[in-house]
A and B are shown apart, each in its own frame.
Chain A
Amino acid sequence: MKIRQFISISIRNNYIPGMSIESINILVVGAAIASAAGIVGAFAVLKRMTLAGDVLSHVALPGIGIALLFNFSTFLGASVSLLMAAVLVWAIRNRTTLPEETIIGILFSLALAIGVIITASEELIDALFGDVNAVSFAEGVLVIGLSAVIIIVMLLLSKKIVLSTVSPELAKASGLRPDILELIFLLVFATVIALGVRFTGTLLMGALIIVPAAAAKNISRNLATYLTLSVFFAFISTVGGFLFSKYLGILPGPTAIFISTLLFAVSMPFRWR
C-alpha cells in the first residue's frame, strides 16, 4: 500500500484519534519549524544569546499589529519587523560600545509596548500566545521550504559560526568576518521566529528556540550530539505540545514551552556541581 494512500485511509477512518487533515497539516508544518528552531537555538545558546533570543520574538508584535490594522499578512508584518530589529541590533552593537543587554532591554521592551498599543484587544491574546486552526497549502510549502533553507544555511555555516563564537580573533585571523556571520545569524534567527509566531505567539517563540537547546547543552559533550539533541528536543516539544493541546483543549504554544522546560529540568542533574 502506498504511504499516501495509507495516510489518507488512516485519517478517513480516524486512525489518529481526534486529528483532522487540517490538524495533521499544522503538525507537519510545526515539526518543520521546530527542526529549524532547534538548530538555530543550538547556535544561539552557544553564542550566549539566551536572553536576546528569548525576547527578540517580542519584536514581532508591532509588525503583527500593523498587519492587522492595514489588513495584510501577519506573517509578512512579523517578518519585516523582526528582520528590521535584527539589523538594528547588529548595527547598534557594531557601532556603539553599549552592552548588548542594554540594547535588548530597551529596544525589545519598546517593541512590545508599541505592539500592545496598536494591536486590537480581541487579537492581542492570539498574537501574544499564538493560535492556528488551519494552514493553507501555499503557507505550508513556504514554511517547510524556509525551514529547510534555514537548516541548510546553519549546517553550511556551522564551522564558521563556532570558530567566530569561541574566538572572534582567531576567526578574523583565519579570514572570516565575525560581524557578517553575526548579521546572517540574526537574520536567520528572526526568520525562524517569524515562521513560528503564528503557532506559539510572540511571547513564547523565542523560548521555544532557546529552551530545547539549553536542555541539549546540559547533556552534550560534542557538537554533533548537541545539534542533534537540540533539534530532537525542539521537535518533541512542538509535536508533543500540539498533541497535548488538542486532547486537553489548551493552547499549543504554551504547552510546547511547558514540555521543553520539563526536558530542561530533566537535563539539569547533568549540571549539578
Chain B
Amino acid sequence: MEHGKEVLKVKDLHVFIDSEVILENINFEVHEGDFVAIIGPNGAGKSVLLRTLLGLLPYKGEVILEPGIIIGYAPQRFVLERDLPISANEWLQLSGVSKEMIAETLKKVGFAPSLLNQPIGILSSGQLQRLILAFALLRKPKILFVDEPLSAVDASGSEAITQLLLKLSKEEGIAILFVSHDLNLVNRSASHIICLNRKQVCFGGTKEALSEKTLKELFGEDQTVYQHQHQE
C-alpha cells in the first residue's frame, strides 16, 4: 500500500480474548488517503482488528500510529432506547467542538438540521448512521475507523455515504479503514483490501489484485462483484 505519508503501521499483531487467539501475525501499513476495506466471513475478527487498532483491546505486537494523529471512530449503529432523553444536537456537543464546526460537518454528511432537536433514540437507522459518522468527523481526523458504515442504511443513503467516504479519502487525504460485508461497496470504493480468514490475513493489497478464487476461499461460495462506474 503506497502513496502519501504512512499514518499507521501494524507489525506482528496478535490478539487474544480470554486466552483464545482471535488474530495472529497481522502486518500491514496504511497511508494518507488510503481507503482500506477489512473483509472476511463472520467471526474472522474484522471488528476485533478495528477495535484493537483503536486501543480498545489488549494485544501483542506493534500498532504504530503517526504521533499526535487525530483519530475518528464510527462504531456500528448502537442500540438506543427510544426514550433516551438526548437530542441529536446535545449528542454532537459531547465532542466539545464549536457550533460552526458541527454545522459544517452536518452539511458534509447530509444530516438535516431540522432533526437536531429530535431525541437520538427516534432517529431512523440512516439518520443515526449519518449522525455517528458526523460525530467521528467533528474533530477533523486524519485517520477514520468505520465499522459497517452501511449496515442499516437504504440504497440511496448507502450510495451517499459511500460517496462521502470516498470524497473524504480523495479530497481531504483522510486514511479510512472500514469493516464491511458488502463486497460491492468494497469493490467500488476501496483502494486496498485486507481479507481476514479465521485469525490471519489471507490477502492484503489493492482491490484489483483480489481474485475470485480468494473470495471463494474466504466466503465459501461463488461471489459476484458487480463492476460499477460513475460518470465524471
> A and B from one assembly?
yes
Q: Using a Cβ–Cβ cut-off of 8 Å, how many residues does chain B contribute to the interface with A?
A: 27
- Which residues of A are found within 8 Å of B94, using beta-carbon distances? 159, 162-163
A222-B90 in contact (CB<8A):
yes
A4 is an interface residue with CB less than 8 A from chain B: no
A261 is an interface residue with CB less than 8 A from chain B: no
Binds B, one of A51-59, A80-88, A169-177, A183-191: A169-177
From B80, B85, B91, residue with most partner A Cβ within 10 Å = B85
Q: A162-B94, A167-B78, A222-B117 are in contact. Are A172 and B55 (CB under 8 A)?
A: yes
A217-B85 in contact (CB<8A):
yes
Which A104-128 residues have a C-beta within 8 angstroms of B? Answer: none
Q: A173-B55, A173-B73 are in contact. Are A166 and B78 (CB under 8 A)?
A: yes
- Which residues of A are found within 8 Å of B118, using beta-carbon distances? 221
* Other-chain contact of A170, B73, B84, B86, B96 (Cβ < 8 Å): B73
| Total A-B Cβ pairs within 8 A | 63
Nearest B residue to A158 via CB reads: B94
Per-residue CB proximity of B62-101 to A under 8 Å, as 1/0? 0000000001010100101001111101110111100000
* Other-chain contact of B85, A159, A172, A222, A271 (Cβ < 8 Å): A222
B96-A159 in contact (CB<8A):
yes
A223-B73 in contact (CB<8A):
no
B85-A162 in contact (CB<8A):
no
Could you tell me the distance in whole angstroms from the C-beta of B211 to the nearest C-beta in chain A?
34
Could you tell me the distance in whole angstroms from the C-beta of A175 to the nearest C-beta in chain B?
9
In the bound assembly, the distance between CA atoms of A163 and B86 in angstroms comes to 11
B85-A169 in contact (CB<8A):
no
A225-B71 in contact (CB<8A):
no
Which A169-219 residues have a C-beta within 8 angstroms of B? Answer: 169-170, 172-174, 216-218
In the bound assembly, the distance between CA atoms of A216 and B85 in angstroms comes to 9
- Which residues of B are found within 8 Å of A166, using beta-carbon distances? 78, 80, 84, 86, 91, 120
B155 is an interface residue with CB less than 8 A from chain A: no
Could you tell me the distance in whole angstroms from the C-beta of B87 to the nearest C-beta in chain A?
4
Nearest B residue to A160 via CB reads: B94
B54 is an interface residue with CB less than 8 A from chain A: yes
From A167, A174, A225, residue with most partner B Cβ within 10 Å = A174
Q: A166-B78, A173-B73 are in contact. Are A222 and B119 (CB under 8 A)?
A: yes
**20 A-B pairs in the complex with CB atoms less than 8 angstroms apart:** A46-B85, A159-B94, A159-B96, A166-B78, A166-B84, A166-B120, A167-B78, A169-B73, A172-B54, A173-B56, A173-B73, A174-B95, A221-B118, A222-B86, A222-B87, A222-B89, A222-B90, A224-B90, A226-B85, A271-B83
Further pairs besides A169-B56, A169-B75: 5, Cβ < 8 Å: A162-B94, A170-B73, A173-B75, A174-B73, A222-B119
